[in-house]
Amino acid sequence: MSEKVEVQRLDMNDCYYVLFRPSQSSSELMNFSDIWVHKYSKEGKLLWRSGVSDRVRWQDSSNVFVGLTRAKDGSVLATTFSGEVYFIDEDTGIASYFKTVR
């Protein structure tokens, strides 16, 4: 049984997000750059989730999110300790690699 790891919680006005990084050792994952996202209401009700959270593992410290921001266009961007930036699709809950900043 895989361990669930909360990587980051992003608080917004009416909801919050919990982001997970999938284990790269799982042969069932198609896109290793994707991050699974759970979206909750402020009251803690699960609004939607992406991915299969019980297969999530924390790989290493480079996958830890150190910053999450909402861009001017309304999109949510997550940044890892190693400088990778991911775009979060709020409709699907999937976060995909965007770019690396140094």
Residue 22 resides in a domain: yes
Host domain of residue 39: 8-100
Rounded to whole angstroms, the Cα distance separating 83 from 73 reads: 21
Three-state SS string over the chain comes to CCCCCCCEEEECCCEEEEEECECCCCCCCCCCCCEEEEEEECCCCEEEECCCHHHECCCCHHHCEEEEEECCCCCEEEEECCCEEEEECCCCCEEEEEEECC
Q: Give the pLDDT confidence of 52-90 residue by residue, as tens digits.
A: 443 433 344 445 556 667 777 777 777 776 777 877 777
What pLDDT shows up at residue 6? 44
What pLDDT shows up at residue 68? 67
81 or 34, higher pLDDT:
81
Q: State how many domains the chain has.
A: 1
Residue 2 resides in a domain: no
7 or 46, higher pLDDT:
46
Residue 29 resides in a domain: yes
Residue 1 resides in a domain: no
What pLDDT shows up at residue 16? 72
Residue 3 resides in a domain: no
Rounded to whole angstroms, the Cα distance separating 40 from 31 reads: 24
Residue 36 resides in a domain: yes
Tell whether the model's pLDDT for residue 94 goes beyond 60.
Answer: yes
What pLDDT shows up at residue 31? 45
Residue 85 resides in a domain: yes
CATH number reported for the structural domain that contains residue 26 in this entry: 2.40.10
